[in-house]
A and B are shown apart, each in its own frame.
Chain A
Amino acid sequence: MTFSGDSGTLGALADLGEADEAEARTPRQRGKRFGRRRRREIGLAYLLILPSLLIFGIFVFYPFFRNFYLGFYKTPPFPGLPTRYVGFDQYSNVLTSQDFVDSLKTTVGFALLTVPAGIILGLLLAVLANQQLRGVGIYRTIFSSTIATSVAVAAVIFGTLFNPVVGLLPWIGIDPKPPILDNPNLALFGVAIITIWQTLGITFILMSSGLQSIPDELHEAAQIDGAGPVRRFWRITLPLLSPTIFFAVVVGSIFAFQTFGQIDILTQGGPIKRTNVLTYFIYKTLRQDSNDGKAAVLAIALFAITFVLTLIQMRVLEKRVHYGR
């Protein structure tokens, strides 16, 4: 969208510069001249996008197709043996394997645990911090601050909080057994909490900016029309925030599907693979099992999921959830 707008402006500017001259010429001369100018412009355009095309080519397109290609070759059980071409067989085998299905379920479960809760929490904080109160700026800063922490830092903080000896629970007198991150039923929750906390800053900022884009006068009009705070939230705020929320859901899901750091630091996919999300599964397949072919197929699967989410996001956001002025 932005790109087409820009090139439009560029074209218009060029037109402007030659408008006076063009007027004096006959149509035929003009046509000829226009053709030459047009060719020059196209050449320049390609020249200008060449650097980014190169970077994308080397770091995105080539690895992507290479990955796809790797998926056709079965990695031998022992290093040193030749790889074997198996074509789409490897795709169907890996994508129907119990390992993959389990990992996918874990990943979806992780997304379901983190995304809705994160958005509701972020929205709640944004609504609270959007009040015109003295000193509310301090809270805004605090609520957005997690944006400035890295995944590693968040993982370490929560690793300590969850620690069965020096953590939060023993401090308030609860002795979690087994410790949360070692508990097959709770480990995914634990990692989800860290993720919610870590993404809260960005969700809060996103929701706050969404709230601020709703004109005050709409709230005032609703107030005068007899709506109390609760009705205003459901009838005015929420519908007008729906584009923002939708965006947060999609982007949050993409994020959730790409979660890696906190899993790697805290649970390494365990206990008993209960936190073995796709990214970690890919990583382990590649690093521990050195199974390039299988890892490539898993990576393509992850790409496909992300791609679909992105498509939905672009389609819906450009079409539906958009109210004119």
Chain B
Amino acid sequence: MARVVFEHVTKRFGDVVAVRDLSLEAFDREFLVLLGPSGCGKSTALRMIAGLEDPSEGSIRIGDRVVDEVEPKDRNVAMVFQSYALYPHMSVRKNIEFPLRTRKVGKEEREKLASEAAHTLGLETLLDRKPAQLSGGQRQRVALARAIVRRPDAFLMDEPLSNLDAKLRVQTRAELVELQRRLEATVIYVTHDQVEAMTMGDRIAIMSDGVLQQIGPPQSVYEKPGNLFVARFIGTPAMNTVTGPVVPEGEGLAVAIASSRVPLPAPYAKAVGDAGLTGVVIGVRPEHLTLASEGLLPATVSVVESLGHERHVICRLEDGQMVIVRQQSSEPAPGEGSMVRLATDLHHLHLFDVHTEQRIEPA
């Protein structure tokens, strides 16, 4: 296994910049998730590691080797495609053996390794079938078996679970992580699903429009989103973000939301004051909001969604901005159309510059 490093990699397709100045390292034996909405350049980044696309600028290393001039077949990485890309004319066994055949592994060794891989993924009884005779989940396993059979330096996976139904996806998620730990593999995993990213990744790299937004362990990305994009992308329901001008309030500063004032805790007020910001975006996760009579912000309940174990109360502030409150089912439900007040612990606040959209750290 080996680490994978991007150094200032840019990829253009004509006028489209698919990946812009990406610098990133996947550590040895790390499960790194590339996360972002569709079209943000995740697949392109992954394909550049495999050598299926050449960077327009910059350089990629696998282990200690710069691979810019290395053919895909000589890069010693394995890839699992979203469509699985199984060879339709070959049996499961032949599919799994294919990477070994191309590397001239002897018959005996080949059969032994293929059986091991098949065993690891529970495919023993399916070895003589053709891919067309398999279910989606089984095909996915064959694709994985074909990837692990030859101990590559790194595994590249491009949305490998997105063709499975929801239940199988949850189960396979855990199995994939188990497999990665057991093989001590370096995995670079592409997904647009932030739940997959949060649950599977040692670290998550979030991309938008070809630009890396933030990289870090799931919890730290969740707790300290570096900018508005990350804040809104990670977490379901998404973080509430309301925008307002900064106004003086007694000794300190506050953010004006319609007729109300949200006072900024002193360290934030200092940071905002020092930077001379006139407007900010306040972010609060839905689980950090409560409906309380002494709350700061008046709002009208527009819809109440019940999910069984919890409840999402969707409210409108006086100026029309939407805010979601997450409640336990045991709490009393507000009636739709009723007036409520929203409260939060001020240390749960996230603050972003309204222009740069960057996180404001308390001074």
Contacts and interface: CB of A to CB of B under 8 A. Distances in A.
Interface of A: 215, 217-218, 220-228, 231, 235-236, 239-240, 323-325
B81 A240 contact: no
A221 B50 CA distance: 10
7 contacts: A218-B88, A220-B79, A221-B85, A224-B77, A226-B102, A231-B102, A323-B88
Contact of B85 (A217, A227, A228): A217
A199 B88 CA distance: 30
Given A221-B81, A224-B73, A228-B73, A324 B102 contact: no
Given A218-B88, A224-B78, 17 more contacts: A215-B85, A217-B81, A221-B81, A224-B50, A224-B52, A224-B72, A224-B79, A225-B99, A225-B102, A226-B74, A227-B102, A228-B73, A235-B87, A240-B88, A323-B130, A324-B88, A324-B131
Nearest to A219: B85
B358 interface: no
Given A215-B83, A324-B130, A325-B132, A226 B73 contact: yes
Contacts of A239: 89
Contacts, number: 70
Contacts of A224: 50-52, 72-73, 75, 77-79
> What's the interface size class on B, roughly?
20 to 34
Given A231-B102, A323-B88, A323-B130, A217 B83 contact: yes
A318 to B, nearest CB: 16
Nearest to B80: A221
A222 B98 contact: yes
B110 interface: no
Contacts of B72: 220, 223-224
B132 A218 contact: no
B257 to A, nearest CB: 50
Chain A interface secondary structure, helix, strand, loop or mixed?
helix
A228 B98 CA distance: 13
A240 B51 CA distance: 24
A226 B51 CA distance: 12
B98 A225 contact: yes
B309 interface: no
Contacts of B132: 323-325
Contacts of A325: 88, 132
Given A215-B83, A217-B81, A323-B132, A225 B89 contact: no
Interface in B284-341: none
Contacts of A324: 88, 130-133
Nearest to A325: B132
Contacts of B87: 218, 221-222, 235-236
Residue from B73, B75, B77, B133 whose CB has the most chain A CB atoms within 10 Å: B73
B103 A226 contact: yes
Contacts of B83: 215, 217
Contacts of B89: 239-240, 323
Nearest to B156: A224
A306 to B, nearest CB: 30
Contacts of B350: none
A134 to B, nearest CB: 12
Nearest to A223: B72
